[in-house]
Amino acid sequence: MVAPGRLNGGLTGVGLGFLLILGLVEGAIEVQNSGQANELLNAVGFQDQWAVLRNAEDDKPLYDGRWMMLLGESDGTYVLYDCDKLETFRRPMETTNLGRIELQPAREADFTCGGLAQQEAS
């Protein structure tokens, strides 16, 4: 038979884990919509870092010089999020230079992602 204290502790742990998952999902949706990470995502190590990408051959800006969220690196590629088009994509590291890099950039209060995605849909 399970002691009541252990059962309550187990249920509390499951409940807190569920709340943590909900908070992380909410934070991911906020990043997708606004381009800004919430405090919970920052606390668990998500870095809200943005860069302007440049062509490695001639150092000219790529993607019209728009800011891209740098999600990480994998297998010789940068993994990036285009907030304006609501797309995640990869770009080879050997052909890409990271231009200006900002951590947690300030945004206007009414800033939202998806402006170019809406224009292309019209």
pLDDT of res. 9:
66
Cα–Cα distance, 84 to 114 (Å, whole number): 4
Residue pair 83/113 in contact by the 8 Å Cβ criterion? yes
Per domain, the residue ranges of the chain are 1-46, 47-122
From the first residue on, what is the mean pLDDT of each consecutive set of 10 residues in the chain (122 residues)?
59 79 87 81 84 95 92 93 91 95 81 70 60
Which residues in 8-109 belong to E strands, given as ranges? 49-55, 67-74, 77-82, 87-92, 96-103
Whole-angstrom CA distances from 63 to 15, 46, 53, 96 are 43, 24, 8, 12
The CATH architecture one would assign to domain 47-122 is Roll (2.30)
Global confidence as pTM: 0.73
pLDDT value of residue 19 = 87
Task: Decide if 62 contacts 55 (C-beta within 8 A).
Answer: yes
